Each structure stands twice: as C-alpha cells, then as structure tokens.
C-alpha cells in the first residue's frame, strides 16, 4: 500500500463516525509519516489466537473501533453458524491498560446484536475464560489480553464453543466477516444491559475445584505442605487465583512479592512481563534468596504461562526453560499414572513441533500416543476436540512456557501448572529428591536435550518485509550441514511437505499450513525457524542432544552442546 492510499484510509478516521479523541490523535499522526503508515497500512488480522497490536488510533491498532469491528464480525458469523439458537458469550480481561474498557466494548457489541454476555466482574486468567465458555455452554468467548507483550500492546483472543481458540475454518471465516464491515457504521455499539450478566467468584470456585481433582499425589502434599514457594503474578491476573489454588491443594508457605501483587498494566517493576526472560524474575529470585525458598514461580499477565526456578546441586536458584518444565511435568504425570496402573492404552499427550523431543521419547517409553502440532495452543486444543470421547488426554505443552493438564480447560493454564509444579516438588521431596534431581534423572533415562530460542525483532512494515525475505532465502538455499552433521530431513509446513534430502523424495504432511521450516541432521540436531504470529519477530529454535549416563556428566556434556550451539549461529550467520 503506497503513501497516498494510507493517507486516504487515515482521512476516513477524521469523519464524524469517530469520537473527538480519536480524530485528534489521527490529526497528530499526519505529522509523522512513518507512524501514520504503521497505524494504517493494514487491518489488524487474526494471528495465532485473535487480534494483537499496539494501542492507539488506526486500522492497525487496538482501539474501540477495531475491537468493535472484530466483535461485530464475530457476532455476524455466530448468527450464521447457530441460526436457530439463543446465542451467548463469555468475556474476560486481564490487567493491561484499557482491558476493562475493551471488554465493555465487546460486551456492548455482543449484547447489541442480541447475544447474551457473561462478563467477568474483574480481571481473570485466560484459562478461566476458556473454562467458563465450556461450563456456561457459551457459543463463543473473548479474552482481552496481549499476554506477555510490552505495555503498549493489547489483544483480543476469540474462543469457540469448545473453549478453544478459533481455528480453521472459523478463524478465516471470521476475518471474512470482519473484512465485510466497510465502515464503523456497520457496528452496533449500543449495549443492551438486559443481556449482560456479571460473573465472578461463582465460576472461580467451580474452576478451582475441577483443577484440584487433577491432583495425583495429595498425600505427598500433606506431608510436605511447608515447602517454601515464592510466587509472583508479575502485576497480572495470577494474583486472583494462583495463591488460592496452592492453598486449596494444601500448600501453607506461599511467599509473595508484594510490589508485583499490585495490578498495573504499566508493569513498573519489570522491563517485560514475560516469564521466559530471566529479568522478569529478578525480584522473585531475590525474595527466594532472602527467604531460603525451595521454588520460585512467575506467571505472565494473563496467567496462562509460568516460569520457574529451582535449587540446583549447589543449592543455588536456577531458572528452568519451558522445555525443562514440560519434561518434568510430563514425566511426573506419566510415571505416577503408570505406577497407579491408570494407563489403559488409550491415553495421549501433545507437543508442538518446536517443543523438546524428550516428550516423544517419554511417550514411547510409557506406551502413550503423542501428537505433534503447529505452534499455538489452539492446535493442542484441536487434537483434544478431535479425540474427545475416544481417547484420554493427559497433558500437553509448548516450549514457550505453556502447559495444560486435563481437559477442563482448552488453552494453556498456568493455574493448574503452578499447582502441579508445587505438587511435583512435594513428591520429589517425599522421595528424597529435588526438582533439579528429577530433571537430571530424566536426562539420564531419556537423553540430555538442550534447547535454545533466539528471537530477532524486525519492527514495522520494513521489518515484516525483511522477515519475509529471510524465510524465502532459507527455502531457496537450505543448509546442507549443521555443525558438521548432514541435514537429512527438511520439513516445510508452508508447503506441507517433508523432504528426504538423501533421496530427494517429498512426502505430504497432515498439518495445517504455517510458515515454519525445520532442518533435522544426522546427529539429531533440530533447527526450526518461523516468523512470530503475534510479534514482529523471526524466531529460531535449536534442539541439541546427547546421551548422558551419569548425573556427574551433566555440566561437561552441556558445555559441549553450548559450544555446538555457538558454532551453529556462526555457520548460519544468525544475529545474536
């Protein structure tokens, strides 16, 4: 889109259909061509879960009008999908700036279209919204959140009637409905208060009771209820339910980080409210040192992901990545269900294609089926939906710190994850171990897997074009070797094919189409690359592996794998 077209799009926002504050902001944008272009060069699109963008005026920004148009499009689609039904929706929101306002906009538009709305009375975790959609038998749900993005962002996650984020064909069809709305005049913003019902603690209690029923070793919790756990919600929604759930399970020594219990969309104590980033846990780690705590847990603003730190063999606090946490939780579930003879042969777990292959090895060991899906928890939920009533879902995870146990919720859930991590710590203590010991045991049994994630930000319109060219180059000029090992398989999820490099034979793969490339080498190294679906980033995932016979060998082998990682970065000319 050229500058003239962008200006024409922006001029429409100076008309009487837009409020005075919006018109004033758009006028200011005309003094900054770059910001004007970024604000209007495209419409916000549904990515891996809905809308997400910087807040402000413009078609490519989160504001009353883009949220209203998305909701009107969703409402129009619901009426076509359920023509003979009385429709209902659940709406929740997180701690971000403008989240309550956007939630009210969504509720207003839904109700104006004759759709009953169950609107949460205050901020709630994303997984509870997923639960509420199912429990209240709603046709849809909307969560106002931008997860772990910087404070300038907000977002809109759309859910279907099974409590999962919308997938194909619904996501595409909703976009078509939204695109069919050519003017904000097509949006009915006038709320029908009679159709808006407030919900809150009643749903909380039912949700937490359901999660408690998933506990595997309550006797271990009872014996070790005094484990010292530092928990921080990073200014987000976890403060509402995570401490309460830990208490409900029986843990009595929950230590807070008071300044981060304060709900604040500006996230004043962190650079980024992302538990993947070590800096986000700085205050919690300090508190754990001061209190000599056993375990640290931090949830992101909408409490669907959790980062943890455990005591290592020297008694020092050590951060674990999402793959390591997923491995511990998966192994705990499979090992104990096996011991309790609850594995009947129809159980399964799910991993995303960029998550550690440790989960694959574990599933094979315990005789449990495993499904591989694209990045995005909605694809894990899709597998649960397809197998409902036929097979039993145990757990599923992704490397980006998201995990789910049980199928009451159809999205990643940091509330159940925090509870289960604490339970594993109690179980380990009952067996004379720590969580760190359990991790090293997993490596000895199933192989040491060292995973790395490198995200490179490319901002604005120019950045998106650069990422597109990078992906094109990887397809046209794939690496022949990685760290001295031949590339033997290439999986291209955009072309939906797996290429045997040795024979040159291509085989179709049964997956959704996505702009993801994976390179597998002879020695088991995996390099994956994809553009982010929610941020202006290109992401690289590295998985390196080695046999490990003894715990004492861990650091030596890890050092060797880290050297290999640096070699790969140099060979592939990847910025670090």
The set of catalytic residues is 147
Phi, psi dihedral angles at 184 (to 5 degrees): -65, -15
Local structure of residue 166 (DSSP, 8 states): P
| 347 within 8 A of 328, measured Cβ to Cβ | no
Assess contact for 372 and 526: CB atoms under 8 A. no
Which of 146, 156, 138 has the alpha carbon at shortest distance from 203?
138
Rg (CA), the chain: 24
DSSP 38-57: HHHSS-----SSEEEEEBSS
In degrees and rounded to multiples of 5, residue 147 shows phi and psi of 50, -120
Closest CA to 542 of 570, 514, 515, 507: 570
CB 174 within 8 A of CB 73: yes
Token pair belonging to 187: 């949006």
For 576, the 3-state DSSP assignment is: coil
Provide the phi-psi class of 228: left if phi over 0, else alpha when psi is between -120 and 50, else beta.
Answer: beta
Nearest Cα neighbor of 242 from 300, 188, 202, 291 is: 300
Round to whole Å and give the CA distance between 354 and 379.
13
Q: Are 39 and 58 in contact (CB under 8 A)?
A: yes
Largest CA distance in the chain: 72
Between the alpha carbon of residue 298 and those of residues 154, 333, 408, 418, the distances in Å are 20, 22, 22, 9
Residue 52: partners with Cβ closer than 8 Å, 6 or more residues away: 44, 62, 146, 147, 149, 153, 154, 155, 156, 534
Q: Which helix (H) or strand (E) holds 521?
A: strand 517-521
For 497, counting Cβ atoms within 10 Å of its Cβ (0-12 exposed, 13-18 middle, 19+ buried), the class is: middle
Burial of 213 (0-12, 13-18, 19+ CB in 10 A): exposed
**How many CB atoms sit inside 10 A of residue 151's CB?**
19
* Residues ≥6 apart with Cβ < 8 Å to 495: none
Please compute, for residue 403, the number of CA atoms within 13 A of its CA located in the half-sphere on the CB side.
Answer: 29
Q: Which of 49, 215, 229 is nearest to 126 (CA)?
A: 49
Q: How far apart are CA 283 and CA 236, in angstroms?
A: 15
In whole angstroms, give the CA distance from residue 56 to residue 169: 30
Which DSSP letter does residue 165 get?
A: B
Locus of tokens 């910025």: 575
């Amino acid at each position: 889109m050229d500058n003239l077209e962008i200006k024409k799009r922006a001029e429409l926002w100076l008309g009487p259909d837009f409020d005075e504050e919006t018109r004033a902001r758009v006028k200011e944008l005309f003094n900054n061509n770059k910001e004007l272009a970024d604000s209007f060069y495209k419409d916000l699109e549904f990515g891996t879960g809905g809308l997400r963008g910087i807040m402000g005026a413009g078609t490519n920004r989160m504001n009353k009008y883009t949220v209203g148009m998305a909701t009107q499009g969703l409402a129009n689609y619901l009426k076509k999908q359920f023509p003979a039904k009385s429709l209902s929706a659940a709406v929740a929101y997180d701690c971000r700036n403008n989240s309550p306002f956007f939630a009210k906009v969504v509720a207003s538009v839904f109700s104006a279209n004759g759709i009953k709305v169950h609107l949460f009375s205050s901020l709630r975790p994303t997984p509870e919204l997923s639960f509420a959609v199912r429990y209240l038998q709603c046709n849809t749900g909307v969560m106002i959140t931008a997860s772990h993005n910087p404070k300038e962002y907000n977002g809109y996650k759309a859910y279907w009637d099974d409590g999962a984020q919308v997938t194909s064909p619904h996501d595409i069809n909703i976009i078509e409905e939204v695109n069919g709305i050519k003017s904000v005049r097509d949006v009915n913003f006038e709320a029908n208060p009679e159709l808006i019902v407030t919900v809150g603690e009643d749903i909380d209690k039912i949700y937490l009771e359901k999660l408690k029923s998933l506990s595997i070793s309550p006797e271990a919790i009872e014996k070790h209820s005094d484990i010292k756990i530092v928990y921080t919600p990073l200014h987000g929604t976890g403060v509402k339910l995570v401490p309460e759930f830990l208490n409900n399970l029986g843990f009595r020594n929950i230590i807070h980080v008071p300044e981060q219990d304060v709900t604040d969309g500006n996230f004043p104590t962190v650079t980024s409210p992302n538990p993947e980033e070590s800096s986000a846990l700085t205050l919690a780690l300090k508190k754990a040192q001061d209190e000599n705590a056993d375990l640290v847990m931090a949830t992101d603003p909408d409490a669907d992901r959790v980062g943890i730190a455990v005591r290592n063999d020297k008694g020092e606090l050590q951060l674990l990545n999402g793959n390591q946490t997923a491995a511990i939780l998966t192994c705990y579930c499979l090992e104990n269900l096996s011991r309790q003879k609850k594995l009947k042969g129809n159980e399964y777990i799910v991993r995303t294609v960029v998550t550690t292959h440790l989960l694959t090895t574990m599933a094979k060991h315990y005789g449990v089926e495993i499904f591989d899906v694209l990045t995005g928890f909605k694809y894990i939920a899709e597998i649960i939906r397809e197998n409902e009533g036929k097979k039993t879902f145990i757990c599923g995870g992704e490397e980006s710190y998201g995990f789910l146990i049980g199928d009451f919720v159809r999205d990643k859930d940091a509330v159940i994850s925090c509870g289960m991590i604490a339970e594993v710590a109690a179980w380990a203590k009952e067996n004379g171990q720590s969580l760190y010991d359990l991790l090293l045991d997993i490596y000895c049994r199933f192989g040491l897997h060292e995973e790395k994630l490198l995200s490179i930000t490319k901002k604005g319109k120019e950045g998106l074009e650069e990422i597109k060219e990078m992906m094109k180059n990887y397809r046209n000029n794939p690496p022949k070797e990685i760290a001295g090992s031949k590339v033997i398989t290439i999986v291209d999820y955009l072309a939906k094919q797996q290429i045997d490099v040795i024979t040159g034979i291509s085989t179709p793969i049964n997956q959704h189409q996505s702009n993801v490339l994976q390179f597998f080498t002879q020695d088991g190294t995996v390099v994956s690359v994809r553009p982010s679906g929610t941020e202006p980033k290109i992401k690289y995932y590295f998985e390196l592996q080695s046999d490990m016979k003894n715990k004492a060998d861990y650091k030596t082998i890890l050092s060797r794998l880290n050297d290999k990682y640096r070699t790969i970065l140099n060979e592939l000319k990847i910025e670090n």
